[in-house]
């Protein structure tokens, strides 16, 4: 956590505990670089601060925001999610994983990201980047074609969580930032890695003939 405190990315959706705002951020972040999302996030939330505001909005206006980062199918997804939050949950983002995953386009990762960041619960997040740490550092590999849906990977992530639920939000953000800044897919910065001397992948490369 010391590394995170000194190197964390300053992203606007991390300044809030509003579950709707965090859910919007996670939908925008799908297959999209965080820097791109940062360019539109504040304006999007100002224009559509609640699920009700998004439901009432003109889809063309929403497209105007989304088109700046691509994947315009997210307009329909965001509006549908907002409508279900209004109709089924009285305008409040649900707290449970099952209820969140019942929303269109919301899988286990997004559900847990919202639960951790907005509600302060002791839950892990697992995506392809975090799995990369498990593979490199721990030597733990999934046998599934979609490792991020492997229950064993989620079990590992849960086992690594801090004991205090209040620390898990920062822990999950720290893992994501470490993947983005140090343990990158291409050109990992092993020389800057505080964990390198314990990393199986790095030590194997170091001693490779």
For the full predicted model, state whether its pTM sits above 0.75: yes
Q: What is the pLDDT of residue 209?
A: 57
Residue 157's Cβ-count burial label (10 Å; 0-12, 13-18, 19+) is buried
What pLDDT, in 10s, does the model give residues 49-84? 999 999 999 999 999 999 999 888 999 999 999 999
Highest CATH level, class, for 2-206 = mainly alpha
Q: CB within 8 A of 15, min separation 6: which ones? A: none
pLDDT along the chain (209 residues), means of 10: 91 97 96 93 96 95 91 92 97 97 96 97 96 93 91 95 95 96 94 91 77
What's the first-to-final CA gap in the chain, in angstroms?
34
């Amino acid at each position: 956590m010391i590394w995170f405190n000194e190197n964390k990315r300053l992203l606007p959706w991390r300044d809030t505990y509003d579950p709707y705002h965090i859910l919007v951020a996670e939908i925008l972040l799908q297959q999209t670089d965080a820097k791109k999302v940062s360019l539109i996030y504040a304006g999007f939330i100002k224009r559509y601060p609640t699920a009700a505001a998004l439901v009432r909005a003109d889809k063309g206006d929403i497209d105007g925001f989304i088109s700046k980062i691509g994947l315009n199918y997210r307009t329909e997804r965001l509006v549908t999610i907002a409508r279900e939050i209004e109709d089924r949950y009285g305008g409040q983002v649900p707290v449970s994983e099952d209820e969140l995953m019942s929303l269109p386009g919301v899988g286990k990762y997004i559900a847990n990201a919202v639960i951790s960041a907005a509600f302060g619960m002791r839950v892990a997040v697992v995506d392809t980047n975090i799995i990369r740490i498990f593979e490199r550092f721990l030597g733990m590999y999934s046998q599934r074609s979609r490792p991020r849906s492997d229950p064993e990977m989620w079990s590992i992530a849960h086992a690594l969580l801090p004991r205090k639920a209040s620390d898990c939000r920062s822990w999950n953000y720290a893992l994501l930032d470490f993947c983005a800044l140090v343990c990158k897919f291409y050109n990992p910065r092993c020389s800057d890695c505080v964990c390198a001397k314990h990393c199986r992948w790095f030590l194997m490369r170091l001693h490779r003939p």
